[in-house]
């Protein structure tokens, strides 16, 4: 598939395709929607090749790949760069971490339109105050729930097709009652789904789902956080329609790069880590190098027919 050929680009907007995946859970497609993190275009291609139907762009993965902490410092335009490369490479509908919406209501509306124009399928907005933190860290400061609800309503008003999720980090400081109350308010404001962050037991996941019947819920299976390891099937049994593994691809890639640089420094070259690399043939197959060359030749042959005199 090449994004250069119009007939090979999905006709439906990414938001429509993402919604169909969520709403098709348990029906035509079956099973919980599994959304792995893809921190760049190459990772998105590999996720698609593995059979995934959607991808996730984590704020933590984006900022880490830029050498920055996840403290709400990057801009909408910088995120759009990541959205464009992931969607261009894979054509997957992408769920994007929208942090706190990059400001208040008008800023949220601008973010929604920018993300849609870049090709995003869904966004989640969280109810923290800046400087925001990873949801699995302590001392998070929460926005007033009605201020957050206004952001959700603004996102709903601005969107053409973008699937809108509201994330609440309230469980840690306001308990389950506070998190559920916020989630219901955000649904009333126009959210399509809810993302309860940093729940730390199966009982919490089950209780939240039981108290939000019929609402599409997203679970976050990040490593090294407060949530114990659960499989996709376990989250589905607890009442969740979507699950993300937000930073996994970036973590694995970063560890591999770390080992590579150490080996070069130690050994004076890469000769001892060749078995850890994609070969040239494997790389070219992943990015469809031959397909792009064939596309180029096909265009040239239609413009310059055989037998036509060529310039010396």
Instruction: Answer yes or no: 70 catalytic.
Output: yes
**Catalytic residue check, 284:** no
The dihedral through the CA atoms of 280, 284, 285, 287 has a sign that is: positive
What is the spatial distance between Cα 72 and Cα 272, in angstroms, rounded to a whole number?
39
Active-site option among 99, 116, 127, 192: 99
312 assigned to active site = no
SS3 96: strand
Q: Is 167 a catalytic residue?
A: yes
Instruction: Judge whether 192 counts as a catalytic residue.
Output: no
Residue among 106, 108, 88, 86 nearest 98 (CA):
108
Catalytic residue among 17, 19, 80, 97: 97
Catalytic residue among 17, 19, 39, 124: 124
Q: Which of 40, 56, 80, 186 is catalytic?
A: 56
Rg (the chain; Cα; Å): 22
Q: Which of 167, 182, 241, 251 is catalytic?
A: 167
Out of 40, 127, 220, 241, pick the active-site residue. 220
Active site residue 134: yes
Known catalytic residue: 174?
Answer: no
Q: Which of 40, 70, 186, 240 is catalytic?
A: 70
Active site residues: 56, 70, 97, 99, 124, 126, 134, 167, 197, 220
């Amino acid at each position: 598939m090449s994004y250069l050929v119009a007939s090979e680009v999905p006709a439906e907007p990414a938001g429509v395709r993402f919604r169909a995946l969520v709403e098709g859970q348990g029906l035509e497609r079956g099973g919980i929607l599994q959304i792995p993190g893809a921190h760049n275009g190459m990772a998105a291609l590999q996720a698609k090749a593995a059979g995934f139907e959607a991808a996730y762009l984590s704020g933590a993965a984006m900022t880490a790949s830029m050498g920055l902490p996840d403290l709400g410092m990057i801009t909408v335009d910088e995120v759009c760069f990541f959205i464009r490369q992931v969607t261009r490479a894979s054509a997957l509908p992408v769920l994007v971490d929208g942090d706190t919406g990059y400001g208040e209501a008008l800023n949220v509306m601008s973010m929604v339109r920018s993300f849609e124009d870049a090709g995003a399928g869904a966004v989640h907005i969280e109810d923290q105050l800046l400087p925001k933190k990873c949801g699995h860290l302590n001392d998070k400061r929460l926005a007033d729930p009605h201020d957050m609800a206004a952001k959700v309503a603004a996102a709903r008003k601005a969107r053409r097709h973008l699937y809108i999720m509201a994330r609440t980090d309230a469980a840690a400081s306001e308990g389950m009652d506070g998190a559920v109350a916020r989630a219901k308010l955000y649904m009333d404001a126009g959210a399509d789904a809810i993302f309860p962050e940093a729940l730390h037991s199966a009982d919490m996941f089950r209780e939240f789902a039981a108290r939000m019947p019929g609402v599409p819920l997203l679970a976050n299976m990040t490593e090294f956080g407060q949530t114990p390891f659960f499989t996709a099937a376990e989250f589905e049994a607890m009442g969740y329609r979507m699950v993300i593994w937000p930073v996994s691809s970036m973590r694995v890639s970063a560890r591999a790069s770390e080992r590579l640089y150490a080996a070069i420094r130690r050994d004076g070259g890469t000769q001892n880590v060749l078995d850890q690399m994609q070969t040239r043939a494997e790389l070219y197959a992943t990015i469809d190098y031959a397909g792009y060359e064939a596309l180029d030749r096909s265009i040239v042959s239609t413009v310059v027919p055989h037998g036509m005199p060529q310039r010396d």
